C-alpha cells in the first residue's frame, strides 16, 4: 500500500515544529540602572565614580555580563535620579534569578557641607569602596524573571545603592567602605519596560 500524501498536513506540521517557545533560544534586551534614593531628608551631596558593571545569572554559577566595566558617575542620595550602568544590551533569552553589580576602583566623593553620622564635613572627602583590592561584588537573589526575545520590551534591572546605610562615621575615619557593608545594604529589583 502506498503512503497517502496530504500537503496541508505537511505544511501544518512544519509550522508547529518551527514555532517553539520564543524564549527557548536567541537573545532579548536588558539594561541595568543604579538609584540612590535618600532616606528622609538628604544629608549628603556627592558622587560615586569609577568602573561598574552588571550581570545576570540563572544559578549563581554562570554569569552573562551586560557590557564591559563602564566608567560612570552616580549622584548620591538624589531623589528621582538614576544612572545607566549599561544601556540596552543583548542577553540570552531564558529565566534568571540572580543579578550582580561589580565596583572596580570606585570612589565616593562627598562635598563639604554633607552630614555623615552627625558629622558635618568642612572639606570635600574621598572614600574608597572595597577592601585592599578596591573591588566589591554584590550579588542579589531576586524573584525569578525572564529575558524575552520580544523586540518591543526590555528587562530592566534596578540596583538601589542605599548609601545612607554604609556612609558612616567609621567609613569617614577609615577612608574606605568594606565589601560586607555595601553587600548587606544594596537591593535589586527587575521589571519589564517597553523599548
The pLDDT tens digits for 2-52 are 444 444 433 333 333 333 333 347 999 999 999 999 887 668 999 999 999
The pLDDT tens digits for 144-184 are 999 999 999 999 999 999 999 999 999 999 999 999 999 99
DSSP-assigned states of every residue in 78-97: -TT-EEEEEEEEEEESEEEE
Dihedral (Cα; 177, 65, 31, 107), 10-degree rounding = 20
Compute CA distances 86 → 9, 28, 66, 68, whole Å: 47, 15, 7, 8
**End-to-end distance of the chain based on CA atoms, in angstroms?**
57
DSSP-assigned states of every residue in 108-150: EEEPTT-EETTEEPSS-EEEEESSTT-EEEEEEEEEEEEE---
**Cell numbers of 28, please?**
532579548
Q: Are 150 and 28 in contact (CB under 8 A)?
A: yes
* Cβ atoms within 10 Å of 113's Cβ, excluding its own: 13
Angstrom distance (rounded) from CA 159 to CA 82: 10
**Cell numbers of 14, please?**
512544519
Beta-carbon contacts of 42 under 8 Å, excluding residues fewer than 6 positions away, are 77, 78, 79
Angstrom distance (rounded) from CA 153 to CA 140: 23
Mean pLDDT (the chain) is: 88
pLDDT at res. 25: 72
pLDDT at res. 12: 38
Angstrom distance (rounded) from CA 46 to CA 97: 32
pLDDT at res. 4: 43
> What is the pTM for the complete model shown?
0.84
Average pLDDT of span 103-130: 95
Amino acid at each position: 500500500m502506498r503512503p497517502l500524501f496530504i500537503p496541508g498536513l505537511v505544511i501544518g506540521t512544519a509550522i508547529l515544529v518551527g514555532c517553539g517557545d520564543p524564549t527557548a533560544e536567541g537573545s532579548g534586551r536588558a539594561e541595568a540602572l543604579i538609584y540612590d534614593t535618600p532616606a528622609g531628608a538628604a544629608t549628603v551631596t556627592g558622587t560615586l565614580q569609577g568602573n561598574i558593571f552588571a550581570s545576570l545569572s540563572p544559578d549563581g554559577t554562570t554569569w552573562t555580563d551586560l557590557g564591559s566595566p563602564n566608567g560612570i558617575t552616580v549622584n548620591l542620595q538624589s531623589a528621582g535620579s538614576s544612572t545607566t550602568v549599561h544601556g540596552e544590551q543583548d542577553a540570552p533569552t531564558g529565566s534568571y534569578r540572580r543579578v550582580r553589580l561589580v565596583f572596580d576602583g570606585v570612589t565616593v566623593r562627598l562635598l563639604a557641607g554633607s552630614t555623615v553620622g552627625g558629622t558635618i564635613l568642612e572639606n570635600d572627602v574621598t572614600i574608597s569602596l572595597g577592601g585592599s583590592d578596591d573591588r566589591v561584588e554584590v550579588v542579589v537573589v531576586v524573584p525569578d524573571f525572564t529575558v524575552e526575545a520580544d523586540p518591543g520590551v526590555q528587562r530592566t534591572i534596578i540596583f538601589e545603592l542605599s548609601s545612607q546605610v554604609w556612609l558612616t562615621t567609621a567609613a569617614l575615619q577609615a577612608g574606605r567602605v568594606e565589601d560586607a557593608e555595601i553587600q548587606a545594604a544594596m537591593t535589586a529589583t527587575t521589571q519589564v519596560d517597553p523599548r
